[in-house]
Every structure is written in C-alpha cells, then in structure tokens.
Structure 1
Amino acid sequence: MTLTRLPVAGAPKKPLAPLRKIAIEEHFMNPDAMHPEETFNPVEFARVSGLETEFVQVVMQRMKDLHHKRIEEMDAAGIDVSILSLTAAGIEGIADAGKAITAARKVNDALAETVARSRGRFLGFASLPLQDTDAALQELEHAIGELGLKGVMVNGYVQDPDKRIGHYLDEARFAPVWEAIAALKVPVYIHPRPSLPQVRETLYAQHAELAGATWGFAPETATHALRLVYSGLFDRHPELTVILGHLGETLPYFSWRIQRCFEFNPLGHQVNKRLQDYLCENFYITTSGNNFDQALICAILTMGADRIMFASDYPFEMSDDAARWIETAPISENDRRKIAYGNAEQLFGLR
C-alpha cells in the first residue's frame, strides 16, 4: 500500500543550518619547548596516567597534527573554532623554575604563530611558569597583552623540585598571579593531571586503570577547585572566572552534599556564599569527554545552561562523537546554541 503524504507547503525555504560549535578544551603538545629530562615518553605517560600504551601512541600522533587531520576532524564535526592548550602535565610538570620559564615562553610564542596561521580556526590558552611568581606575571602580560591569547590553562598542581610535593593555586604564593588575572579579566581553565606519586602508589595500588581519566582525574581536579572556593579566593576577587572540564569534574552532581557537610564541619574556614553560588557566578564547565545526557541535565539544573560550553577533548576523544551528541541532546534549542557556541562567544569576546 502506498501512503498518501500530506502536502507541506509552508516548509522553510532554507534548509536548517548545521549547529555551529566552538570547542574550548582541545590539546596540543610542543616537544621542542621541553628540555631533555622532560622529553615525552609515551610508555611512562601511559603508566602514570592509567592509560594503555597503544592508546597513548595514537593520541600523540593526533596531538602533534595542528593543521591537517585536526582541521579535517573539526570540519566533519562542524567546529568553527578550537581553543588550543598545552596538554598535561604541561609547564606545571617541570620541576626546575628556570626551565619552566624558558619552556612557557617557547610554548606561548609557538602557539601564537599557530593561531596566526590558522586563519581564524584556532585561538589559544596561555601557559605560565607558576614555579616563579614574578616570571609568571611577566609571561601573563606577554601571552595575553602581546600575543592575544584568550586565557590561562593550568594543568593541575605546580611541581616542586621535590617530586612528591605539588603546589595548588590556593596557596598564598599565587595571590599576585590571581590579582593580575582578575585585572586582565581572562578565564583560567584548570585541567587534570595525575595525582602526586604517593596518592597513585597507595589509593590506586593494584588499580592503575583508575588513576587517570577513568576516575582519578576528576577528584584530583575537583579538590583543586574546592580549595580555591573555600580559601575565599572568589570573595577576594568576585570577578574571577575558572573553567572546569568534563561537565564540572563531578561538582554539579555533588555540590549540595559538599556544601551541607562543610557547613557542619568548616574547621576554621569561612566563605561568604554557598558552593552552588560560586559555581553559578565564578565557574564555567565544559562538555569535554562527557557526552552523557543525564550529566548534562544535572549540570543545567545546578548551574544553568549559560555556564556550560562545548568541548570535544581532542585528541583524547573523537570530535564527531561530541558533535553528534550535543546536536541531539534532550535540551532546548536555545540551550543547545548557548552551549555549542554562544557562551564561548560571550566569554571570550568573539562576537
């Protein structure tokens, strides 16, 4: 039997345009900027990060390609612009301050050249040598003020010369850097890196598969963010903006309980607002590597769609997977457009 179709006389004259996207957690590597003792070793990276060596080798091939396969994948996913950032452990993983200073300048200068060559397809996050506060301030002015990079990427804690010690950004030594960032009005993206050796050797003993992106990255980065909140950083600088990936590193889901237990047990700390308020006022989160409807809906209910931005987590994830998901996620079309490109346009001044 042949069905008689109803006439559709009022269909739009123009076909529906593909959903535009700006992706803001897209990684690169610059081995030329690193010193011999920091030369990338995929086997060691896999071991520390809880990854399969074969996976790391493929990721690294994708990581180094900045102008060919990467652009093809962006085109296939409908990504207009990617904001590039140095992958973990980045400059933060260099123990020697002098070497970190040199490497940060090389990375930022090379990134600015890549951005210029891309004809509008790339923007960039700056790397800072946080091992030396004065040098970090100088590099911040150079990278943002002179090179035009769009914010700062921090790959977790800053390595101490004692490899078993890491410095988190709520420490007093970083106060001048936060003041300068607040004055420049640029966001800081806090990205995961593997926890300190003593954590990996105890908490993840016999379970290396949990040490990295499978689980360990989320509590490591969420704890860093909570240290910032309960240190009073955002009370001192209410204009600061911090970005977290992976739909907030579990914080939207767990925010009520964290705040509830903190109020019962502040142990000498006091801040002006609830965690939920800081999440809504001082944080953005991205969809990087978390293409999950239920998590997205939880994040929208906790923070609002205005505080969420699209990211694919390239090259650790496939851009087209992230694109197909956000194009069909069960949210309003208005929220979809905000998340895909609108919020990033507003935050980074791209309109």
Structure 2
Amino acid sequence: MSINRLPVLGAPKTARPPLRKIAIEEHFMDAGAVHGGKAFDPVAFARVSGLEVDFVKAVMRRMNDLHEARIEEMDAAGIDVSILSLTAAGIEGIADPAAAAIAARKVNDFLAETVAKADGRYLGFASIPFQDADAAVRELEYSIGELGFKGVMVNGYVQDPDQDVGHYLDEERFLPVWEAIAEMGIPVYIHPRPSLPQVRDAFYGQHPELAGATWGFAPETATHALRLVYSGLFDRHPGLNVILGHLGETIPYFSWRIQRCFEYNPLGHQVEKRLQDYLCENFYITTSGNHFDQALICAVLTIGADRIMFATDYPFEMSPDAAEWIEKAPISENDKRKIAHGNARALFGI
C-alpha cells in the first residue's frame, strides 16, 4: 500500500550547505631542520610514540604531501584554512640551545614558504627555542612580527642536555618568554609529546600501546597545563590564552574533582581563582582527534562553545571523519558554526 505524503510547500530551495571550517591542529614535519639533516626514522618514532610502524609510514606519506593530497582532503572536508604546526617532538626535543635556535629559524622559514605557496589555504603556528629565553623572544618577534604567524605551538616539555630531564613551561626560566607572548596577545597551543624516558619505561614498559595517543599523551599534556595554572601564570598574565587539543586532554571532565582536592590539599600553592574559571578565561580546546559526542557535550557544559575550535589532527586522523562528525554533533546550529570556524576567526583575526 502506498503512503499518502503531505505536501511540503515551504521547504528551502537549497539544503543547508556544509559548515565552512578552519582547522587548527594540522601538522607538518621539517625533518632536515629538526634532526640536523638526519633521515627520519619511522621505527624509532613508532617506538617512543606508542604507534605501529606501518601506521607511522602511512602518516609520514600524508605529512610530507603539503600541496596536493592534503589540499584535496581539506576540500573534501570543507576546510577553508588549516593552521599548520610542527609535529612532536619539534624544537622542544632539541637539547642544545644553539641548535634549537638555528632549527627554529629554519622551520619557521620553511613554514612561511609553504604558507605563501598555498594561495590562502594555510596559516602557521611558530616554533620557538624555549631552551634560550633571549633567542625565544627574538624568534617570536621574527615569526609573529615579520612572518605573520598566528600563535606558538609547543610540543610538551623542553629537553635538557640530560636526556632524562625535561623542563615544563611553568618554570621561572620561561617567564620572560611568557611576558613577550602576553604582550603580543597571541595564543600558545600545547601539544603532546611522549613522556620522559623514565616515566615511559615505568608506566608503559610492558604496555607500549598505551604510551602515546591511546592514553599517555593526555595525562602528560594535562599535567603540563595544570602546572601552568597552579604556578600562578594566569594571575600574572590574565590575558594569556593556551590551547589544548583532543577536547581538553581530559581536564574539562575532571575539573570539579581537581578543584575540590586542590582546595583540601594546596600544599603551599595558592591561586586567585577556581580551575573552572581559568578554563573559561584562559583556555581554548579543540576537537582534534576526539570525535565523541558525550565528550563534546561535557566540554560545552564546562567551558562553553565559545572556547572550542575545530581541528582534525591531520595527518594522524582523517579530515572528512572530523568534518562529518561536527556536522552531525548533537549541539545547536549556532554552536556548530562557532566551533567550525567562528571562534578561530575571532581569536586569530582570520
């Protein structure tokens, strides 16, 4: 039996077009600059990152294609602009300060050339040599002031010449760099890198599958961000903005308990506001590599849709998957527009 359908006389003449998107955690690698001219070793990268070697090889094919397949994938996902950033361990993984400064300049120049060739499809995050505060400030002035990059990408802790030691950005040695960043009014994206060797061996020695993005990156990066909060950095510089990927590296979902337990047990630390306040005033989070409705809803309820931005985590994730997910996410149409492109346009002046 056929069904008698009601007439639909007032339907729009055209369906809603796909959301336009700006993607802000999209990686590249300049192996020659970062590794001192040595060839990239996929086996070593896989071992420390908790990845399969075949996965790493596939990622690197995607990583190194900057102007053909990558643009095609952006088009398929409706991504107008990608903000490119150097992948982990980046400049932060170079132990020698002088070598780090040289590599940062080479990487930033390479990225500037890449952006210039892309006909407006790319923007950039700067890499700076935190190993030397003076050199870091000079590179900030060059990469932001002259090259026009939109912020700074930091790949976790800064390597010490002692390979078992890493320096997190809450340390006093980095305050001059933060002061320069605050004065420029640019955001800093803190991206994961594998934990220090002794941590990695103790936690993941028998479970290498947990060392990287599967689990280890989140607590490593969340701890770094919390160190910034409880160091009082945002009390000194209330206008600073830090970006975290992967829908906040678990912090939004654990923020109540963190605040509660800190109030009971501050152990000599004191800050002016609640963690939730800092999340709403000093942090943005992105959707990179975390296409999970429940996590998104929790993030919206914790910090608001005005502080969430779209990202794909290319080449480690597929851009069309990220795009399809945000199109269908169970949030308001207006919030989708903010996350897909509106918040990035406002923050970066795009």
Partners of 2:165 and 2:196 within 8 A in 1? yes
SS in 1 for 2:204: coil
Paired residues of 1:38 and 1:94 also in contact (CA < 8 A)? no
The aligned residue for residue 287 of structure 2 is 287
2:61: which partner in 1? 61
**Residues 35/88 of structure 1: CA separation in 2 closer, same or farther (3 Å cut):** closer
Corresponding residue of 1:258: 258
Aligned-partner residue type, residue 55 of structure 1: F
Indicate the residue corresponding to 2:122 in structure 1: 122
Match of 2:147 in 1: 147
Q: Distance in 2 between matches of 1:36 and 1:173?
A: 26
Please list the CA deviations of residues 288-311 of structure 1 after superposition, one character each: whole Å capped at 9, or x if unmatched. Answer: 000000000000010000000000
* Paired residues of 2:24 and 2:311 also in contact (CA < 8 A): yes
Distance change in 2, residues 1:259/1:128 (3 Å)? same
Q: 1:221-278, CA deviations, whole angstroms, 9 ceiling, x for partnerless residues?
A: 0000000000000000000000000000000000000011101110110000000000
State the Cα deviation string for residues 148-198 of structure 1 (Å, max 9, x = none): 000000000000000000000000000000000001000000000000000
Q: Over residues 18-69 of structure 1, what are the superposed CA-to-partner deviations in whole Å (9 max), with x where a residue is unaligned? A: 1111100000001231344764211001000110000000001100111000
What is the one-letter code of the residue matched to 1:140? Answer: L
User: Contact 1:189–1:244 (CA<8 Å) still a contact in 2?
Assistant: yes
CA contact (8 A) 1:156 1:221 kept: yes
Cα deviation, 1:72-129, whole Å, max 9, x if unaligned, reads 0000011111000000000000111111111100110111111111111100000001
2: distance between equivalents of 1:33 and 1:102? Answer: 8
Q: Look up the match of 1:113.
A: 113
Please name the residue that 1:84 is paired with.
Answer: 84
Match of 2:224 in 1: 224
TM-score by length of 1: 0.98
1:343 matched to 2:343: yes
Task: Answer whether contact 1:195 1:220 (CA < 8 A) is retained.
Answer: yes
Structure 1 distance, partners of 2:347, 2:9, is: 41
1:115-194 superposed matches below 5 A: 115-194=115-194
| Structure-2 separation of matches of 1:117 and 1:225 | 34
Contact kept in structure 1, 2:245 and 2:288, CA below 8 Å: yes
CA distance in 2, matches of 1:327, 1:35: 39
Q: CA deviation at 1:205?
A: 1.9
CA distance in 1, matches of 2:36, 2:302: 45
Distance of 1:186 and 1:62 partners within structure 2: 29
Whole-angstrom CA distance in 1 between matches of 2:3 and 2:262:
63
Query: How far apart, CA to CA, are the structure 2 residues paired with 1:70 and 1:210?
Result: 28
Question: What amino acid does structure 1 have at the position aligned with 2:277?
Answer: D
1:120-155 deviation line (CA, Å, top 9, x unaligned)? 110000000111111000000000000000000000
AA of the residue aligned to 2:68: H
RMSD of equivalent CA atoms:
1.0
CA contact (8 A) 1:29 1:63 kept: yes
Equivalent residues in 2 for 1:36-47 (5 A)? 36=36, 39-47=39-47
Q: How many residues align?
A: 350
CA distance in 2, matches of 1:212, 1:177: 28
Amino acid in structure 1 at the alignment position of 2:188: V
Aligned to 2:305: 305
Q: What SS does structure 1 have at the residue aligned with 2:88?
A: coil
Residues 1:274 and 1:38: Cα distance change in structure 2 (over 3 Å): farther
In structure 1, what is the Cα distance between the partners aligned to 2:110 and 2:49?
26
Aligned to 2:32: 32
Mapped to 2, the partners of 1:273 and 1:190 lie a distance apart of 21
Q: Give yes or no for contact 2:170–2:228 (8 Å, CA) kept in 1.
A: yes
Q: Whole-Å Cα distance in 1 between the matches of residues 117 and 10 of structure 2?
A: 44
CA distance in 2, matches of 1:210, 1:177: 33
| Partner Cα separation in structure 2 for residue 270 and residue 71 of structure 1 | 47
**TM-fit CA distance, 1:17:** 1.6
